[in-house]
Amino acid sequence: GCAHTQANFETAFYRSSIADNNTYEQWLAEGERDANTRAGALAKKMLDEYEAPAIDPAVDEALVAFIAKKKAEFPDSNI
């Protein structure tokens, strides 16, 4: 009930999108998905929905050339 707590509660704490705060019974009913499973599903969703930002073609070309040059400098690597 402290005014400071009430004013800062929503922004002072991190709420994980991976954690499951449901009851054990609800967790069982929803498929017993552990944190790794939930994280994997979230990562897949994020990758599926990803849209590459617009990039100037000249900048893109320069970056691709830079990457190719660096890869060529390390022929024994697994890059």
Domain definitions of the chain by residue range? 18-73
| Range 43-55 average pLDDT | 95
- 50 pLDDT tier (thresholds 50, 70, 90): very high
Q: How far apart are CA 30 and CA 28, in angstroms?
A: 5
pLDDT at 64: 96
Does pLDDT of 79 surpass 70?
A: no
Alpha carbon distances (Å) from 25 to 15, 20, 32, 54: 21, 12, 9, 46
What the block records as the tokens of 4 is: 């400071």
Better-scored residue on pLDDT, 3 or 78:
3
Better-scored residue on pLDDT, 11 or 1:
11
In one letter, which amino acid is 56? D
Average pLDDT, the chain: 89
Q: How far apart are CA 48 and CA 42, in angstroms?
A: 10
pLDDT at 7: 83
